[in-house]
Amino acid sequence: MHRKPHLPIKNCLACARPFAWRKKWARDWNEVRYCSDRCRREKGRGGPSPSAPHPEYAPPTSRRGRPAS
């Protein structure tokens, strides 16, 4: 009776390669999206971050209606 460990697999968002579950990801496997730190850094660099608004989207009132006090 041979039982292979059944590891979940995900596709890396940066290099698009499948990678298997690792013990170091045991705690936050749900959050893992990249096969390595390198891929995470590569993807995180240059991409627009959803939390930071674009400068063009700044409402005009924020430029003008500034309290002078």
Q: Summarize as ranges the residues that interact with Zn ion (CB under 5 A).
A: 12, 14-15, 35, 39
State the nearest-atom distance from the C-beta of 37 to Zn ion, in Å: 10
Backbone torsions φ then ψ of 18, nearest 5 degrees: -75, 140
Output 32 or 39, the one with its CB closest to Zn ion. 39
Rounded least distance, CB 61 to Zn ion, Å: 43
Write down the least CB distance from residue 54 to Zn ion, Å.
Answer: 28
Task: State residue 10 phi and psi, 5-degree precision.
Answer: -130, 165
CB neighbour class for 35 (10 Å; exposed up to 12, middle 13-18, buried from 19): buried
